[in-house]
Structure 1
Amino acid sequence: MELGALLKGIGLGGGLIIAIGSQNAYLLRQALKREYVYTCIAICIVCDVLLIGAGVAGMGEVINNMPGLLFWIKITGAAFLFWYGVRAARSAFKSSSFELDKQAPAVSQRQVIAAMLAFSLLNPHVYLDTVVLLGSIGGQQPGVGPWYFALGAMLASIIWFLSLGLGAQYLIPIFKRPLAWRILDGAIAVVMWLLAISLFL
């Protein structure tokens, strides 16, 4: 029974986390630039673990019973996603490429931490998927099943973010070309705008 809940958590949690989203897109971009990659991975993992645990512990039901709070979370998240989409679109139209081997990082660690936290916590999809959906399904497991389910979802999150952040280095030769960065930034802009629009559909 516990093993079934654990595997269910891994499967469902992995399916939700692997889907292309703002958090994954930003982590991938930082990993390709080799800027504070471990910091970004740690933030993603800690945020997901805390949110999954909170959802299974009952936070998902609280959010469902507070439609006003969910509405303002959507407004704030949509504004942030739209703004970052504009930034990514501007970057896509620049003629210069990123210097992946430069010594000084383009942004400070504080800026990266703030952005990674924003992508992890300001996106309403994080709460709808991680807290509400995983929390409600995990809460339905019998006995101690909810915590095995949560553990499975947490393991899926840890494996995914480590794989994405550390595996991106193998794509660096491709992204030494300006066109590859333009395509990536253009795709990120589209993803951000689609996520912002989907919040109100």
Structure 2
Amino acid sequence: MLESYLTGLVVCGGIIVAIGAQNAYVLGVAVRREHHWWSAGLCMSTDVLLLAAGMFGVSALLLSMPSAMEVLRWLGVVFLAWLAAQAFHRAVCGRQGLAGGASGGRSRRAVLLATLAVTLLNPQVYLDTLLLIPAIGAQQQSTATFVAGAISASILWFSLLAWGGAALSPWLSRPLAWRAIDAAIGMMMAAIAVQLAFGASLTA
């Protein structure tokens, strides 16, 4: 059982780290202290629901609906491009840095809606949580323990992003630092959007 848990922890951890758009967004709101624990908690909860759904056979339904995946793919491209454009605009125009412990200007609802969009409009999330991870979990000695390990990886990773980003915010009070962060986030979002738009077909 321990082996199944560790396998779930390592496999899911590696996959979550690779989902760049979601990570960049959560880190960004954490650095700005814009309801970052709510954002991280929503990512954790979504992972739990998707992993559980994958183990209960939603993956088969998803494979039978390739057109739905294609729609999600292009919605994701548009949303990521919009986030990239916003980040580049902030990088060029600049903005005031936040003092340590300050709250972000956006409402909790706005942050949560954007977090949900970044998470659910990325088809790779469904391929990973509903197909890849359950396929590996089905081969383990204890499926339940494997899922527990996968969920633990999500909780640990997003907790680290929320805590680490907030911990760095006192050192990021200068506008120049914010411009660098926004430029980096913009490039990451744009690169993921391009990869999603022109990469290999997700349903192949």
Measured in 2, the distance between the counterparts of 1:136 and 1:62 equals: 14
- Correspondence for 2:202: none
* C-alpha displacement of 1:45: 0.8
- Correspondence for 1:100: 99
Letter in 2 for 1:153: A
Measured in 1, the distance between the counterparts of 2:132 and 2:172 equals: 36
Q: Post-superposition, which runs of at least 4 consecutive aligned residues in structure 1 deviate over 4 A?
A: 101-104
Measured in 1, the distance between the counterparts of 2:170 and 2:182 equals: 17
* C-alpha displacement of 1:28: 0.9
Letter in 1 for 2:170: P
* C-alpha displacement of 1:169: 2.6
Name the CA shift for 1:59/1:140 in 2 (closer, same or farther; >3 Å): farther
Are the equivalent residues in 2 in contact too, given 1:89–1:185 (CA < 8 A)? yes
Letter in 1 for 2:192: L
Percent identity, aligned pairs only, is: 39
* C-alpha displacement of 1:96: 2.8
Measured in 1, the distance between the counterparts of 2:171 and 2:54 equals: 39
- Correspondence for 2:41: 42
- Correspondence for 2:85: 86
Alignment of 1:148 onto 2:153: no
Letter in 2 for 1:98: G
Letter in 1 for 2:185: I
- Correspondence for 2:116: 117
- Correspondence for 2:67: 68
- Correspondence for 2:158: 161
Measured in 2, the distance between the counterparts of 1:4 and 1:62 equals: 30
Measured in 2, the distance between the counterparts of 1:172 and 1:104 equals: 11
Q: CA RMSD in A?
A: 1.8
Name the CA shift for 1:11/1:121 in 2 (closer, same or farther; >3 Å): same
How many aligned positions are there?
Answer: 198
Are the equivalent residues in 2 in contact too, given 1:60–1:136 (CA < 8 A)? no
What is the TM-score with the length of structure 1 in the denominator? 0.90
Measured in 2, the distance between the counterparts of 1:83 and 1:154 equals: 30
- Correspondence for 2:193: 196
Name the CA shift for 1:42/1:9 in 2 (closer, same or farther; >3 Å): same
Are the equivalent residues in 2 in contact too, given 1:56–1:147 (CA < 8 A)? no
Are the equivalent residues in 2 in contact too, given 1:54–1:135 (CA < 8 A)? no
What is the TM-score with the length of structure 2 in the denominator? 0.89
* C-alpha displacement of 1:19: 2.5
Measured in 1, the distance between the counterparts of 2:191 and 2:158 equals: 22
* C-alpha displacement of 1:74: 0.6
Are the equivalent residues in 2 in contact too, given 1:61–1:136 (CA < 8 A)? no
Letter in 1 for 2:154: S
Are the equivalent residues in 2 in contact too, given 1:31–1:168 (CA < 8 A)? yes
- Correspondence for 1:59: 58
* C-alpha displacement of 1:23: 1.2
Letter in 2 for 1:100: A
Measured in 2, the distance between the counterparts of 1:104 and 1:11 equals: 34
Letter in 2 for 1:170: A
